[in-house]
């Protein structure tokens, strides 16, 4: 295993969390309800009937958690600002207690020497805005612009690294077409509208940050998965192309000024193009970001399936193919990670790449009082080797953020899916550093032998 310094002295090593997954305290400090608070109350939506509270109680324990991040050797800390903590009703008064909390959090990061990376939208839309259509609604552009402006004006003098949206392909598809995430809608027309609104908001958010913050470094993050056809048959390859469009091309190509991706005869993309042509917004979809965030957790193998509406494709699970996978069944494939880093770089027009999330869920084991998660350590070793390979091949990668600092509320997976470097006892909030956390400490302090 190489040393962390092999990637250069200016390479950023960070750890990431998000407001909804970590803060808890939904009724403390004036926060309003989000779509996830409402979604979690619906029966059967969250594994184990979990709720996004108390989560890891970061709102009240942020100083302790930042000290842990610093002790593990990280130099950057990525977190998100809860829209409903800053503007509880989405459109009304600013919550001074919420603003104060984020000022204190940022100040603590700076005091400890942790460079703050702020994500503006990490999926926790104020519930009141969903009632007027949410990301599929007419008003979302104006609502998001106000939120971005408030955050820029409040925190821009202290924070220079900004991420506009977290994984827009995920929150639009899972929230508005598949119904697996908040707000739990299953409507193709809403899905298409949410795509368009998110793409516009992403670019406009970048423009607002640029206009309001001097010397800002502005990015946005994309989830991505290499899509592999199950066989080399024409139907399987065509199915893989359709899925690839939605997982990998849908937001990066408009961002780079190429417009929405299109496959001839694919109804969903034809509708998206017709919608965009009617609204004449193509020139507003692009923005010259300083960096692109890449979040790659697994490749996906796809076969043709005529029984699945619209996309005519389905996944062939890793377990069925008998390949290595995480506790969630996600394929482990560092070579695929390497290929995706190269692919996004070779688009052209991408200045820098940050891996804004990287990690894996495994079942942690308590052995002689120590939390053994050796599988997670092996995962990081393999994926970081792939990252170094990509950098040596010319991909301008400037940072890596481990997901995540502590176990948390993992969306619809609840509390059973643990990604943390630090174990959380959710009954007592006791923090226990896992072996993977100690591995990171040794790696970042160049003590790995």
Give me the catalytic one of 204, 357, 375, 410: 357
Report the pLDDT averaged over residues 288-310.
98
H helical segments located in 325-409: 334-346, 374-392
pLDDT at 449 over 50: no
* pLDDT, tens digit (0-9, with 9 covering 90-100), for 201-218: 999 999 999 999 999 999
d(CA 218, CA 210): 8
Question: Structure tokens of 209?
Answer: 């940050």
How many whole angstroms from its chain centre is CA 299? 16
Domains and their CATH numbers in the chain = 4-444 (3.20.20.80)
Model confidence at 367, pLDDT cuts 50, 70, 90, reads confident
* pLDDT, tens digit (0-9, with 9 covering 90-100), for 232-279: 999 999 999 999 999 999 999 999 999 899 999 999 999 988 877 766
d(CA 268, CA 252): 17
The pLDDT score that the predictor gives to residue 283 is 78
Reference 172, options 118, 240, 225, 123; nearest CA is 123
More confident residue, 65 or 447: 65
The pLDDT score that the predictor gives to residue 448 is 43
- CA geometry: angle 405, 410, 412, nearest 5 deg: 175
Report the pLDDT averaged over residues 366-394.
95
User: Strand (E) positions, 145-299?
Assistant: 161-166, 217-224, 227-229, 291-296
Report the pLDDT averaged over residues 291-315.
98
- H or E element, residue 285: none
Of the listed ranges 167-181, 242-256, 360-374, the least confidently predicted one is 360-374
Q: Please indicate whether residue 357 is annotated as part of the active site.
A: yes
**Residue showing tokens 């259509």:** 133
The pLDDT score that the predictor gives to residue 44 is 97
The pLDDT score that the predictor gives to residue 144 is 98
Give me the catalytic one of 167, 204, 375, 410: 167
Bridging pattern class, strands 300-304 and 365-367 = unpaired
Report the pLDDT averaged over residues 114-121.
98
Tell me the pTM.
0.98
Q: Please indicate whether residue 315 is annotated as part of the active site.
A: no
**Residue showing tokens 């056809």:** 229
Cis peptide before 272 (omega within 30 of 0): no
The pLDDT score that the predictor gives to residue 278 is 63
- CA geometry: angle 241, 246, 248, nearest 5 deg: 85
d(CA 390, CA 104): 37
pLDDT at 99 over 70: yes
pLDDT at 364 over 70: yes
Strand order across the beta sheet in which 300-304 lies:
227-229, 300-304, 313-315
């Amino acid at each position: 295993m190489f040393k962390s310094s092999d990637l250069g002295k200016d390479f950023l090593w960070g750890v990431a969390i998000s407001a909804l997954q970590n803060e808890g305290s939904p009724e403390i400090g004036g926060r309003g309800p989000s779509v996830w608070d409402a979604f979690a109350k619906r029966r059967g939506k969250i594994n184990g009937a979990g709720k996004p509270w108390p989560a890891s109680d970061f709102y009240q324990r942020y100083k302790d958690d930042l000290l842990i991040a610093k002790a593990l050797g990280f130099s950057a800390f990525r977190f998100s600002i809860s829209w409903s903590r800053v503007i509880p009703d989405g459109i009304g008064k600013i919550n001074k207690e919420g603003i104060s909390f984020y000022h204190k959090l940022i100040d603590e990061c700076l005091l400890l020497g942790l460079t703050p990376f702020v994500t503006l939208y990490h999926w926790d839309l104020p519930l009141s805005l969903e009632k007027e259509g949410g990301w599929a609604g007419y008003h979302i552009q104006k609502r998001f612009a106000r939120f971005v402006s408030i955050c820029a004006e409040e925190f821009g003098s202290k924070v220079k690294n900004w991420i506009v949206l977290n994984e827009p392909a995920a929150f639009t598809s899972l929230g508005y077409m598949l119904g697996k995430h908040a707000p739990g809608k299953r409507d193709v027309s809403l899905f298409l509208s949410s795509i368009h609104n998110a793409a516009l908001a992403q670019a406009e958010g970048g423009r607002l940050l640029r206009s309001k913050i001097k010397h800002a470094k502005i990015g946005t993050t994309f989830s991505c998965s290499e899509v592999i056809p199950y066989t080399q048959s024409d139907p399987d390859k065509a199915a893989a192309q359709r899925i690839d469009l939605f997982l990998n091309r849908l937001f990066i190509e408009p961002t780079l000024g190429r417009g929405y991706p299109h496959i001839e005869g694919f109804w969903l993309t034809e509708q998206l193009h017709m919608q965009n042509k009617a609204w004449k917004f193509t020139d507003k979809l692009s923005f010259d970001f300083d960096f692109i965030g890449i979040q790659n957790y697994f490749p996906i193998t796809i076969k043709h399936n005529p029984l699945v509406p619209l996309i005519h494709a389905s996944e062939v699970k890793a377990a069925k193919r008998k390949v290595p996978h995480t506790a969630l069944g996600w394929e482990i494939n560092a070579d695929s990670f390497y290929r995706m880093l190269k692919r996004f770089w070779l688009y052209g027009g991408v200045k820098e790449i940050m891996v804004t999330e990287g990690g894996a869920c495994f079942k942690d084991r308590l052995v002689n009082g120590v939390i053994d998660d050796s599988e997670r350590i092996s995962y990081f070793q393999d994926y970081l080797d792939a990252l170094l390979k990509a950098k040596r091949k010319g991909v301008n990668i400037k940072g890596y953020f481990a997901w995540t600092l502590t176990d948390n509320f993992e969306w619809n997976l609840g509390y059973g899916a643990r990604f943390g470097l630090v174990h959380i006892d959710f009954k007592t909030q006791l923090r226990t550093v896992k072996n993977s956390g100690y591995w990171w400490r040794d790696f970042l302090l160049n003590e790995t032998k």
